[in-house]
Amino acid sequence: MKRISAFLHPIARTIISIALIFFNSGLLAQKTLSFSDEVYEEQIKTVQLYPNMGGAQDFLQPAATQVAQQNLLLEFDDLQDQRSNYYVKLIHCNFDWTRSSLSDLDFMDNYNEYPLTDYQLSGTTHVRYIHYRFQVPPVKLPGNYLLMLYRDDVKNIVLSRRMMVYDSQIGLTKDDLFIGQGALNRAMQQFNFILDYSDITILNPMETVHVNIRQNQRWDNAKFNLQPSFLRDDQSQLEYKSQDDSRQFSGGNEFRFVDFRSLNNPGVNTGRIIKSVKPYELYLAIDVPRAEVAYSQTKDLDGCFIIDNIDYGEPATTGNYLYVNFALKTGSPYEGDVYLVGKFNDYRRTEENKMKFNAASGMYESRQFVKQGWYEYQYILASKNNAETVIEGSHFETENVYEVAIYNHPFRPNADLLIGYYLIPVNPH
């Protein structure tokens, strides 16, 4: 914009500046904070929030950390040339991800506004971007938190991310009897467990304890406020063994994957790559429905993705963005909408992730602008009359990882505290 404005008449520059002010004001008015994983501007890409423990693949882990060892790291790319003034604010939330009644001083030691100062410009990439890193500040209380990133003004929201800070005060014993192997439940998964709160004082556990479970870091099908089947008050235990579908998850299928960590020699499940245009255009191998195919055990990343560039080196700043074309051959359209989902797009059912049916080719198609790496994904169907697993199929044998989050709402502070957090793998390979 500066290069162009240098050649404009001063009056013209003034008119343009005023127009931009009104335009940006309109954008501010249109943004509404969502208490979910959300990106509010198209140029913000590849958002990751994970516990930075010094491991090579920490970024595959959920955004959860112990209150005594807080180490969450936020990373993202901004597809522009100049650095912006970004700030982070944390919001304490209830177990159901609504804003709690706590003030900033209840859970923060310092002023709740943190500038982002750690950034790097991309190298000789086809699309220029700035890579940001931010170490999330510690909080005083365990619980759910929404990380909000904004530019200059708190109303100018750029992204939001859910994170969990837990304190291990309650025990969990998993029942080894896994529900899902019976003839009537071959597509579903459920595990039973007992919570032991003998080490802490909970006056009314049936009212104040809340349990949430999610599968493979997905919020779109998470189950909230699960009710216990029994209270053993004399043993300080809550038992979760209900046989209804309130705690059952569709087992789903192992994730599909594609490897374009190298653009010189793209890997598995890739097709042709067009390099005559920049950014490059990559066409993947054509997918087909799997619902009628017998379960096949494969090792996957449970829907996560890896940013990597094995052609040149440091992937954070040398990885190229490119257009990746997905195709699902069905012959005829489904009743409902088909979405391409994975951790890379937070399983969001948006217009960007909705596939378009091409009647001429008999295929659903989607074109995604993503960064070099390894991506896992699935196709889900949003329909009134069919299950979302109609395309992929669902099997109780599928390997999945579940998170169990246990909250208690004491008299003080008047908020839901995350007093237990467990990762439970099912059918580990």
Interval 214-255: pLDDT, tens: 999 999 999 999 999 999 999 999 999 866 677 789 999 999
12 part of a folded domain? no
What domain range is 37 assigned to?
32-166
What is the biggest distance separating any 2 CA atoms in the chain, rounded to whole angstroms? Answer: 82
pLDDT at 241: 86
7 part of a folded domain? no
Helix (H) or strand (E) holding 48: strand 44-51
Residue 178 pairs with which residues in a beta bridge?
A: 191
Is residue 281 within 8 Å of 274, Cβ to Cβ? yes
15 part of a folded domain? no
Q: Are residues 196 and 321 in the same domain?
A: no
pLDDT at 313: 82
Residue 16 has pLDDT above 90, yes or no: no
Q: Span 338-361, mean pLDDT?
A: 97
Summarize pLDDT for 27-68 with one digit per residue, the tens: 445 799 999 999 999 999 999 999 999 999 999 999 999 999
Q: Are residues 43 and 96 in the same domain?
A: yes
Question: If you ran DSSP here, which 8-state letter would residue 205 be given?
Answer: H
Q: Span 337-359, mean pLDDT?
A: 97
Q: Are residues 314 and 291 in the same domain?
A: yes
Percent of the chain exceeding pLDDT 70 equals: 90
User: Encoding tokens for residue 9?
Assistant: 């008449």
Q: Are residues 271 and 288 in the same domain?
A: yes
58 part of a folded domain? yes
Work out the burial of residue 12: count CB atoms within 10 Å of its CB; fewer than 13 is exposed, 13-18 middle, 19 or more buried: exposed
3-state SS string for 60-74: HCCCEEECCECCEEE
Could you please report the per-residue DSSP string of 384-400?
SSS-TTTTT---TT--E
Q: Are residues 267 and 376 in the same domain?
A: yes
Q: How many domains does the chain have?
A: 3
The type of residue at 16 is: I
pLDDT at 176: 63
pLDDT at 104: 97
Q: Are residues 188 and 144 in the same domain?
A: no
Is residue 150 within 8 Å of 86, Cβ to Cβ? yes
Summarize pLDDT for 124-179 with one digit per residue, the tens: 999 999 999 999 999 999 999 999 999 999 999 999 999 999 999 999 999 766 55
- 363-371, strands of its sheet edge to edge: 270-274, 281-284, 321-329, 363-371, 356-358
Confidence band for 268, pLDDT divided at 50, 70 and 90: very high
312 part of a folded domain? yes
27 part of a folded domain? no
Q: Are residues 193 and 162 in the same domain?
A: no
Is residue 327 within 8 Å of 286, Cβ to Cβ? yes
Residue 185 has pLDDT above 70, yes or no: no
409's CB contacts (< 8 A; 6+ apart) are 95, 208, 210, 415, 416, 417
The type of residue at 100 is: S
Count of CA atoms in the C-beta half-sphere (13 A) of 102: 28
CATH number at residue 338: 2.60.40
Q: Are residues 178 and 132 in the same domain?
A: no
20 part of a folded domain? no
Q: Span 353-381, mean pLDDT?
A: 98
Q: Are residues 359 and 282 in the same domain?
A: yes
Q: Are residues 45 and 118 in the same domain?
A: yes
Q: Are residues 48 and 101 in the same domain?
A: yes
pLDDT at 180: 52
Q: Of 143, 166, 189, which closes a domain?
A: 166
Confidence band for 107, pLDDT divided at 50, 70 and 90: very high
14 part of a folded domain? no
Residue 332 has pLDDT above 50, yes or no: yes
Is residue 145 within 8 Å of 166, Cβ to Cβ? no
CA dihedral sign of residues 24, 25, 29, 32: positive
Count other Cβ atoms within 10 Å, centred on residue 254.
Answer: 23
Instruction: Quickly tell me which residue has 């706590």 as its tokens.
Output: 102
Instruction: Quickly tell me which residue has 């943190």 as its tokens.
Output: 114
Summarize pLDDT for 272-320 with one digit per residue, the tens: 999 999 999 999 999 999 999 999 999 999 999 999 999 988 899 999 9
Instruction: Compute and round to an integer the Cα radius of gyration of the chain.
Output: 24
**φ, ψ at 416 (rounded to 5°):** -80, 120
Residue 21 has pLDDT above 80, yes or no: no
Residue 5 has pLDDT above 60, yes or no: no
User: Encoding tokens for residue 316?
Assistant: 């954070």
